[in-house]
Structure 1
Amino acid sequence: MPGYLEALVGEMEAAGRPKVRWLVGDVNMGWSFPVAKRLGIRVASFWPASMACLAIMLKIPKLIQDGVLDDKGWPVREETLQLAPGMPPLHTSLLSWNNAGAPEGQPIIYDLVCRNNKFSDLAEIVVTNSFQEAEAGAFKLFPDILPIGPLFADGAFQKPVGSFLPEDERCLRWLDARADGSVVYVAFGSMAIFDPRQFQELAEGLELTGRPFLWVVRPDFTPGLDMAWLQAFQRRVAGTGMIVSWCSQQQVRPCQTHNKLHTIEPLNFLNNTDVHDSVLFRQVLAHRAVACFVSHCGWNSTLEAVRNGVPVLCWPYFCDQFLDRSYVTDVWRTGLAVAPGEDGVVAKEEVRGKVDKVIGDAGFRKRAGWLKDAAAECVGEDGSSYKNFTRFVELLSE
Structure 2
Amino acid sequence: MARPHVMVVPYPVQGHVIPLMELSLYLAKQGIRITFVNTKDNHERIVSSLPSGNDLLSQISLVWVSDGLESSEERKKPGKSSEGVLKVMPEKVEELIECINGSESEKITCVLADQSLGWALEIVERKGIQRAAFCPASAAQLVLGLSIPKLIDNGIIDKDGTPLKKQVIQLSPTMPSISTENLVWVSLGNKIAQKHIFQLMVKNIKSTQKIEWLLCNSTHELEPAAFSLAPEITPIGPVLSRNQFKHSAGNFWPQELSCLKWLDQQPPNSVIYVAFGSFTTFDPTQFQELCLGLELSNRPFLWVVQPDIIEGTKNAYPEGFEERMCKQGRMVNWAPQQRILSHSSVACFISHCGWNSTLESVSNGIPILCWPYFADQFLNRNYICDVWKVGLGLERDGSGVITQCEIGSKIEKLLNDEGLKARAADLMVKVQISTGQGGLSNNNLNSFIRWIKT
What TM-score, normalized to structure 1? Answer: 0.88
Counterpart check, 1:200 vs 2:256: no
Give the C-alpha shift of residue 154 in structure 1: 5.8
Cα 1:87–1:156 shift into 2, 3 Å: closer
Is 1:352 matched with 2:440? no
Deviation at 1:153, TM superposition (A): 6.3
Partner of 2:84: none
| Deviation at residue 387 of structure 1 after TM alignment | 0.9
Question: How do residues 21-100 of structure 1 correspond to structure 2 at under 5 angstroms?
Answer: 21-100=109-188
Cα shift readout 1:284-318 (whole Å, capped 9, x = no counterpart): 10111111000000000000000000000000000
In structure 1, what residue type is equivalent to 2:286?
A: Q
What residue number does 1:121 align with?
209
- For 1:98, what is the secondary structure of its paired residue? coil
Correspondence 1:324 to 2:380: yes
What is the DSSP-based 3-state SS (H/G/I as helix, E as strand, rest coil) of the residue aligned with 2:111?
A: strand
Report what 1:268 is aligned to: none
Count residues in correspondence: 366
* Matched ranges for 1:191-230 at <5 A: 191-225=279-313, 227=315, 229-230=317-318
In 2, distance between residues paired with 1:228 and 1:91? Answer: 32
Query: 327, 330, 339: which is aligned to 2:395?
Result: 339
SS of residue paired to 2:323: helix
**1:274 alignment counterpart:** none
Deviation at 1:2, TM superposition (A): 2.8
Within 5 A, what are the aligned runs for 1:145-156? 145-152=233-240
Q: Is residue 163–residue 248 contact of structure 1 (8 Å, CA) maintained in 2? A: no
1:387 aligns with 2:448: no
CA, structure 1 residues 159+329, in 2 after alignment: closer, same or farther (shift >3 Å)?
closer
Contact map agreement 2:176 2:383 (CA 8 A) in 1: yes
Contact 1:86–1:135 under 8 Å retained in 2? no
1:166-181 equivalent positions in 2, closer than 5 A? 166-181=254-269
Q: Is the 8 A contact 2:353 2:377 kept in 1?
A: yes
Deviations 1:252-288 (A, max 9, x none): xxxxxxxxxxxxxxxxxxxxxxxxxxxxxxx110111
| Displacement of 1:104 | 4.3
Q: What letter corresponds to residue 437 of structure 2 in structure 1?
A: E
Counterpart for residue 143 of structure 1: 231
In the alignment, what sits opposite 2:195? 107
1:78 deviates by: 2.5
Letter in 2 for 1:141: L
| One-letter code aligned to 1:346 | I
- Measured in 1, the distance between the counterparts of 2:352 and 2:246 equals 27
Q: Distance in 2 between matches of 1:71 and 1:391?
A: 38
Deviation at 1:239, TM superposition (A): 1.6
Quote the Cα distance in structure 1 between the aligned partners of 2:104 and 2:183: 46
- Deviation (angstroms), 1:228: 7.7
| SS state at 1:108 partner | helix
CA apart distance, 1:226: 6.6
Match for 1:290: what amino acid? V
Q: How far did residue 360 of structure 1 move?
A: 1.0
Identity %: 42
Please give the alpha-carbon distance, in whole angstroms, between the structure 2 residues aligned to 1:159 and 1:366.
27
Alignment partner, residue 307 of structure 1: 363
Structure 1 residues 250-261: aligned runs within 5 Å = 250=338
Q: Distance in 1 between matches of 2:92 and 2:104?
A: 19
Deviations 1:137-170 (A, max 9, x none): 0000011210000111666678541222112222
Counterpart pick for 1:185 among 273, 292, 309: 273
- How far apart are the structure 2 equivalents of 1:352 and 1:6? 52
How far is the alpha carbon of 1:230 from its aligned partner? 4.8
SS in structure 1 at match of 2:116: helix
Does residue 380 of structure 2 align to residue 292 of structure 1?
no
Deviations 1:61-82 (A, max 9, x none): 1111122222221222322211
Q: Scaled by the length of structure 2, what TM-score is found?
A: 0.78
Give 1:117 deviation, angstroms.
1.4
The one-letter code matched in structure 1 to 2:282 is F
Post-superposition offset of 1:102? 1.5
Please state how far the C-alpha of 1:3 moved relative to its aligned partner: 2.6
Structure 1 position 349, deviation (Å): 0.6
Q: Structure 2 stretches of 5 or more lacking a match?
A: 1-88
Cα drift, residue 344 of structure 1: 1.2
Q: Secondary structure at the match of 1:63?
A: helix
Query: Shift in Å at residue 30 of structure 1?
Result: 1.2
Q: Residues 178-222 of structure 1: CA distance to partner in whole angstroms, max 9, x if unpaired?
A: 111111100001111111111100000000011111111011111
Gaps of 5+ in 1: 251-282
Q: Residues 55 and 294 of structure 1: is their aligned pair in 2 closer, same or farther, counting only changes over 3 Å?
A: same
Quick one: structure 1 residues 156 and 325, their matched pair in 2 at CA, closer, same or farther if it must change by over 3 Å? closer
Q: Residue 378 of structure 1 aligns with which residue?
A: 434
Instruction: State how far apart, in whole Å, the 2-side matches of 1:290 and 1:365 are.
Output: 13
Please state whether the residue corresponding to 2:272 is helix, strand or coil.
strand
d(CA) in 1 for partners of 2:434, 2:316: 50
What residue in structure 2 maps to residue 277 of structure 1?
A: none
Kept in 2: contact 1:96–1:318 (CA 8 A): yes
Higher mean C-alpha deviation, range 98-107 or range 148-157: 148-157
Q: Distance in 2 between matches of 1:128 and 1:227?
A: 40
Amino acid at match of 1:341: D
